[in-house]
Amino acid sequence: MLPKAKLWLGLVVAALMTLSTNLQAAWELNMTQGVTQISRDTYDLHMQILWWCVAIGVVVFGVMLWSIINHRKSKGAVAASFHESTKVEILWTVIPFIILILMAIPATRVLTEAYDSSESDLDIQVTGYQWRWEYRYLREDANEEEVAFYSILSTPRDQINNDLPKEEHYLLEVDKPLVIPVNKKVRFLVTSNDVIHAWWMPAFAVKKDAIPGFINEAWTIVEEPGIYRGQCAELCGLDHGFMPIVVHAVPQDEYDAWYAGQQQAAAATRAAANNVVTLSAALEQGEEIYNRICIACHQANGTGLPPAFPALAGSAVANGDVEANIRLVINGVPGTAMAAYGRQLNTVELSAIITYIRNSFGNSTGDLVQPADVNTILQEAQ
């Protein structure tokens, strides 16, 4: 071999070795077994059917290969001449039918188990929004403080713009994870508030479409504490790929403490609706909220991405009637990417973000929106 050819061969081999090392995860060809009994049952069913199909393929293609080799023209084989064979037609109808029945027996058992969401210990309503998830823990006692929150991609614009290092959980971190207890049957009631989403948690073998106006049920029993990650698995529009799911499965005592803390925080937030906030406090909180949920569309400098995402800097809304501004943020703009934040943010957060956008990006209205101002408009809509 010529020296130049050897050099090129060496470079190709080195490149292939590097690519193989960097893309090692891409060679995973099979399903994961998951961390729940139903996910393991699903995996076992998958492997069972797979090997049945392999055996059928070996038999069918083996017979074909044997027939081709032993009935080739060079050996003097002469093709038979016939029109039909009742026995063969019966065989190739009955045998596949029997095979399908044998496959249906274990498949029916697993599917029946997967769809049995009865006798749950905890019910959680999962609602998809563009592009975040709302988790609402359903209460048995109406007088009990409700726990509900939104979970969104943490540091969204930094991750979307590749301004952060691509670590192990790149684009799979959220600001508020879903928390559930281990060894308890948790039922998920999955729906959507705008377009079709899909709540997909591979480790639980759960994937349910979130459809506006419909509620789909799923369930899980996680046996071991841990952090589990998933994503929206339905193309739901721009930024669809930035809608991760993170679930923390924790021991019961840790879950009880977390839930009690969430109830206390909810009660404190509700009580704060009557508080009077200062301009500096509102601007500080409003900036934090803007960088968490608004920056992805309206940009860090408020210039937006017209025409889909209009600019806030110098906009007629941010510099116009304050009540109209409050109503727009609460109700959104139907038919556009502007979501309704009346349920997604509490009254204190709404007053802070509206105050911030009216006094930032070159806007200088000097308006200070109080939680009571927002609460008045929210009560009118109820």
Residue 22 located in a structural domain: no
> What burial class does residue 141 get, using C-beta atoms within 10 Å of its C-beta: 0-12 exposed, 13-18 middle, 19+ buried?
exposed
For the chain, state the CA radius of gyration. Answer: 29
Q: How confident is the model at residue 8 (pLDDT cuts 50, 70, 90)?
A: low
Residue 3 located in a structural domain: no
- Taking Cα atoms as reference points, which of 304, 307, 343, 346 lies closest to residue 129? 343
pLDDT at 306: 83
pLDDT, tens digit, 9 for 90 and up, residues 22-38: 545 455 678 888 899 99
Residue 176 located in a structural domain: yes
What's the distance, Cα to Cα, between the start and end of the chain in Å?
82
Looking at per-residue pLDDT, the higher value among 214 and 269 belongs to: 214
Q: How confident is the model at residue 102 (pLDDT cuts 50, 70, 90)?
A: very high
pLDDT at 73: 81
Whether residue 373 contacts residue 327, with contact meaning beta carbons closer than 8 Å, is answered with no
Peptide bond just before 181 cis, omega within 30 deg: no
Looking at per-residue pLDDT, the higher value among 309 and 13 belongs to: 309
Q: Are residues 227 and 352 in the same domain?
A: no
> With pLDDT > 70 as the criterion, what percentage of the chain qualifies?
89
pLDDT over 80 at 196, yes or no: yes
- Taking Cα atoms as reference points, which of 33, 11, 37 lies closest to residue 221? 37
Residue 172 located in a structural domain: yes
Residue 226 located in a structural domain: yes
Q: How confident is the model at residue 156 (pLDDT cuts 50, 70, 90)?
A: low
Q: Are residues 217 and 148 in the same domain?
A: yes
- Taking Cα atoms as reference points, which of 206, 45, 203 lies closest to residue 124? 206
- CA pair distance 274, 125, nearest whole angstrom: 29
Q: Are residues 326 and 305 in the same domain?
A: yes
Domain that holds residue 323: 275-381
Q: Assign residue 300 the CATH number of its domain.
A: 1.10.760.10
Q: How many CB atoms lie within 10 A of CB 357?
A: 25
Q: Are residues 236 and 318 in the same domain?
A: no
pLDDT at 256: 95
CB proximity list for 379: less than 8 A, separation 6 or greater: none
Residue 21 located in a structural domain: no
> 172-199: buried (b, 16+ CB within 10 Å) or exposed (e) per residue?
bbbbebbbbbbeebbbbbbbbbbbbbbb
pLDDT at 81: 80
- Taking Cα atoms as reference points, which of 357, 355, 348 lies closest to residue 369? 355
Residue 75 located in a structural domain: no
- CA pair distance 89, 85, nearest whole angstrom: 6
pLDDT at 336: 77
Q: Assign residue 210 the CATH number of its domain.
A: 2.60.40.420
Q: Are residues 254 and 283 in the same domain?
A: no
pLDDT over 70 at 21, yes or no: no
Mean pLDDT on 204-232: 95
Q: Are residues 242 and 228 in the same domain?
A: yes
Mean pLDDT on 345-373: 91
Which one of 270, 294, 318 terminates a domain? 270
Q: Are residues 183 and 222 in the same domain?
A: yes
Residue 23 located in a structural domain: no
Q: Are residues 161 and 250 in the same domain?
A: yes
- CA pair distance 291, 311, nearest whole angstrom: 15
Q: How confident is the model at residue 229 (pLDDT cuts 50, 70, 90)?
A: very high
Tokens of residue 333, six digits: 């703009």
Q: How confident is the model at residue 14 (pLDDT cuts 50, 70, 90)?
A: low
pLDDT, tens digit, 9 for 90 and up, residues 318-329: 899 999 999 999
User: What total number of domains does the chain contain?
Assistant: 3
Pairing of strands 216-220, 244-250: unpaired
CB proximity list for 186: less than 8 A, separation 6 or greater: 120, 121, 122, 123, 124, 180, 219, 220, 221, 222
Q: Are residues 327 and 251 in the same domain?
A: no
Looking at per-residue pLDDT, the higher value among 10 and 131 belongs to: 131
Q: What is the mean pLDDT of the chain?
A: 86
Tokens of residue 290, six digits: 């803007």
Whether residue 128 contacts residue 200, with contact meaning beta carbons closer than 8 Å, is answered with no
pLDDT, tens digit, 9 for 90 and up, residues 85-100: 888 899 989 999 999 9
pLDDT over 80 at 165, yes or no: no
Peptide bond just before 131 cis, omega within 30 deg: yes
